[in-house]
């Protein structure tokens, strides 16, 4: 099973340990993490705090549990 963390600007901003979700594969965890990042970017756009960030600006770390 796998989980993920999303880091941005030196801080962990999303940790899948905080939700009741585990993924069957690294690829599945990575896809979910990218979707979380895209959602975060959309939220920043709605809040007028978007500064041009892209998914590539985030450090996604998949971990085996």
Q: Could you tell me the pTM of the whole model?
A: 0.88
* Separation CA 43–CA 4 (nearest Å): 20
Q: Where are the domains of the chain?
A: 2-64
State pLDDT tens for residues 39-58.
999 999 999 999 999 999 99
Q: Which pLDDT value is given to residue 21?
A: 81
Cα 26 to Cα 16: distance, rounded to the nearest angstrom:
13
The pLDDT of residue 19 is above 80: no
């Amino acid at each position: 099973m796998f989980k993920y963390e999303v880091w941005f600007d030196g801080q962990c901003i999303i940790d899948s340990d905080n939700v009741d979700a585990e993924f069957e594969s690294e690829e599945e965890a990575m896809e979910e993490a990218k979707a979380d990042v895209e959602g975060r970017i959309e939220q920043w756009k709605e809040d007028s705090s978007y500064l041009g960030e892209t998914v590539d600006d985030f450090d996604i770390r998949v971990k085996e549990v």
